[in-house]
């Protein structure tokens, strides 16, 4: 499928896009190339190929979910200006 400059102007009008008339030929060639590529992709035999839910459907190399930091809340709250029930207390800022 190939587009001409008039079709590009019509598509631009329908999409509410401002396209300079000097560029319509260039856009027509680019869009035609894209459509030709899509046509080529449509011709590929994909029988027997499982569709992917994600393009990176593979085993991700992630670290194991382990706690690597020790709880230091008591140490940090010991130097805090004010704490209560394991929480930091701050002055009221909204009356």
With a pLDDT cut of 70, the percent of the chain lying above it is: 99
More confident residue, 95 or 41: 41
Enter the DSSP assignment of 15. Answer: T
Residue whose pair of structure tokens reads 């011709």 in the numeric block: 43
What's the rounded Cα separation, in Å, for the pair 40 and 32? 12
pLDDT per residue as tens digits for the range 67-81: 889 999 999 999 999
| Residue 50 pLDDT > 90 | no
Q: What's the pLDDT at 95?
A: 81
Tokens of 36: 């030709």
Residue 61 has pLDDT above 90, yes or no: no
Per-residue pLDDT at 63: 83
Please determine, for residue 2, whether its predicted confidence score (pLDDT) is greater than 90.
no
């Amino acid at each position: 499928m190939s587009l001409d400059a008039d079709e590009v102007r019509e598509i631009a009008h329908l999409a509410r896009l401002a396209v300079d008339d000097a560029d319509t030929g260039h856009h027509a060639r680019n869009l035609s190339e894209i459509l030709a590529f899509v046509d080529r992709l449509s011709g590929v035999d994909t029988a027997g190929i499982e569709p992917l839910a994600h393009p990176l459907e593979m085993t991700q190399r992630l670290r194991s979910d382990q706690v690597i930091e020790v709880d230091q809340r008591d140490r940090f709250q010991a130097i805090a200006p004010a704490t209560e029930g394991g929480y930091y207390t701050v002055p009221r800022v909204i009356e």
